[in-house]
Amino acid sequence: MTAVVLAAVPTTTYYLVLAAILFAIGAVGVMVRRNPLVMFMCIELMLNAVNLSFVALATRFADIDGQTAVFFVMVVAAAEVVVGLGIIISILRRRPGVNADDLAELKG
């Protein structure tokens, strides 16, 4: 009984595994989904999985560097949202309801 309780106390590794799973979900999402907005959300999920890894590792090392890295990533993610949504809106305005398979003017 004691062993079960001890095992249930989350360690850093739990968070790292969770982050890896989230990252994998995001990566698969980018590859299988066809809506540009959803693909974009999956990329954000990947970035936040990395943030979780950084925080977990910073706690394990008792080191502040990993936590500050998260702030940089959040700023970059916010900037990416601005640019990404700008491009997506400009393309959706000309071609409503477009998905990734329709964007096939360039190929060869």
Partner 1 sequence: MSHAVFGQAQEFIAPSIEWWQISPILALVAGALGLLVVGALTPTWPRGGYAAVAVLTTIVAGVFTLFHWNDIADNGPSTMISRALAFDAFTQFLTITILLATLLVLLVTADELYRTDNDGPEIYALMLVAATGGIVMAAANDLIVMFLGLETLSLALYVLAASDRERRASQESGIKYFVLGGFASAFFLYGIALVYGGFRSTNIGEIVEAAQADVLLTGDDPMVLAGLAMLIVGLGFKVAAVPFHIWTPDVYQGSPTNVTAFMASVGKAAAFAAMLRVLVVALPTQRDDWRPAIWVIAVVTLVVGSALAVVQTDVKRMLAYSSISHAGFILVGVEAAGHGGLAADNDGMSSVAAYLLLYAVLTVGSFAVVTLVGRSSGGDTSLEAFSGLAKRRPALALGLTVFLLAQAGVPLTSGFVAKWGVIQAAVEQESYVIAIIAMIAAVIAAYLYLRIMVSMWLREGAADVAVEPVPLMTGFSVAFAAVFTIAVGVWPQWVLEAADEVIAYAR
- Point out which residues bind partner 1 (CB under 8 A): 16, 23, 26-27, 30, 36, 39-40, 43, 46-47, 49-50, 53-54, 57, 59-66, 69, 72-73, 76, 79-80, 83-84, 86-88, 90-91, 94-95, 100, 103, 105-108
- Sign for the CA dihedral angle at 15, 20, 65, 45 comes to negative
Min dist CB 80 to partner 1, Å, is 6
- Closest to partner 1 by CB, 5 or 50: 50
The rounded Cα 86 to chain-centroid distance in angstroms is 19
Q: Please check whether residue 66 is in contact with residue 50, taking contact to mean a CB–CB distance below 8 angstroms.
A: no
Q: How far is the CB of 4 from partner 1 (least distance, A)?
A: 24
- Cβ distance 83 to 43 under 8 Å? no
Minimum distance, C-beta of residue 94 to partner 1, in the bound complex (Å) = 7
Report which residue type is found at 43.
Answer: I
**Closest approach of partner 1 to the CB of residue 79, in Å:** 6
User: Would you say 98 and 91 are in contact if contact means Cβ atoms under 8 Å apart?
Assistant: yes
Complex with partner 1: residue 8 or 31, whichever CB lies closer: 31
Residue 66 CA to residue 30 CA, distance in Å, equals 26
